[in-house]
Amino acid sequence: MVEIKTPEQIAKMREAGLVVAAIHEATRAAAVPGASTKDLDDVARKVLADHGAKSNFLGYGGFPATICTSVNDVVVHGIPDRETVLKDGDIISVDAGAIVDGWHGDAAFTVFVGTGHAPELHELSRVTEESMWAGIAAVRKGNRLVDISKAIEGYIRRQPRPASGKYGIIEDYGGHGIGSQMHMDPHLLNYVSKKRGKGPRLVTGFCIAIEPMVSLGTVKTHVLSDDWTVKTDDGTWSSHWEHSVALTEAGPLVLTAVDGGKAKLAELGVETAPDPLG
């Protein structure tokens, strides 16, 4: 069953989303050469404490940290530690979440550490982020879940191929419903699968975390012995972008974007809902 939210519940999710946005701002600034991924986790913990919010990552299935820090060929679920020290030329995807009064926010971004990155890495991140926004623009009443998947995949497929030969849309991980729990039905693929059908129809109160993960090569991944860290099978680097989105009577509201997604969606011809927090 898909959990449908009331306007009051969406307002609480917006509060949680803004805490996630604050974590993003702080960890993006902290992702510099010489910083360890544990340093970034410490930054995230402080932001949560400053906002009186709880972590929805810490302890989830035994996960030992408040954020996921996925460096280079790590796709998702990298565990912060003191040993992983960021170097000039790395890329890192930071996935963060927060709980406010029982309601969840969840979002991720990719950031470049230092300088000297190959143009195809910049393009990888851009393509992944823009595919996310294409998916968000498809969050409209009357659409079905598959329309989000179609928008994400369609955007990626239309882009010029990278020097590595192709973009790999990671198959084993995708977006998810969000609300009173971090991971809920429905599961959102970042590509169209005939086996999965069209999925539920999008209605007012529908909330979804949209999170494409794209590599410079394979679609296949494997999990390391820590039971969390997911890497590409061929060692190609990857990017991960995510926002949590609510569908309201007035249109989509990007819960984890500071401006609610207004500026970016305006570029795509989509009007966003008013911010319930003013």
3-state helix, strand, coil in the chain (%, to 5): 30, 25, 45
The reply to whether 51 sits in an annotated binding site is no
Asked if 111 contacts 67 with a C-beta cutoff of 8 angstroms, the reply is no
The reply to whether 123 sits in an annotated binding site is no
How many CB atoms lie under 10 A from the CB of residue 277?
Answer: 11
The reply to whether 95 sits in an annotated binding site is yes
The reply to whether 187 sits in an annotated binding site is no
Tracing tokens 């990888």 back to the chain, one arrives at 124
CA distance 204 to 208: 12
The reply to whether 106 sits in an annotated binding site is yes
- Specify the DSSP element, H or E, that contains 119: helix 119-137
Asked if 105 contacts 241 with a C-beta cutoff of 8 angstroms, the reply is no
Asked if 58 contacts 49 with a C-beta cutoff of 8 angstroms, the reply is no
By the 10 Å C-beta count (0-12 exposed, 13-18 middle, 19+ buried), 29 is classed as exposed
SS3 7: helix
Give the residue among 101, 270, 136 at the shortest CA–CA distance from 210. Answer: 136
Q: What is the DSSP letter of 162?
A: P
SS3 79: coil
Binding-site positions read 77, 95, 106, 176, 183, 211, 242
Binding-site positions for a divalent metal cation read 95, 106, 176, 211, 242
Binding-site positions for substrate read 77, 183
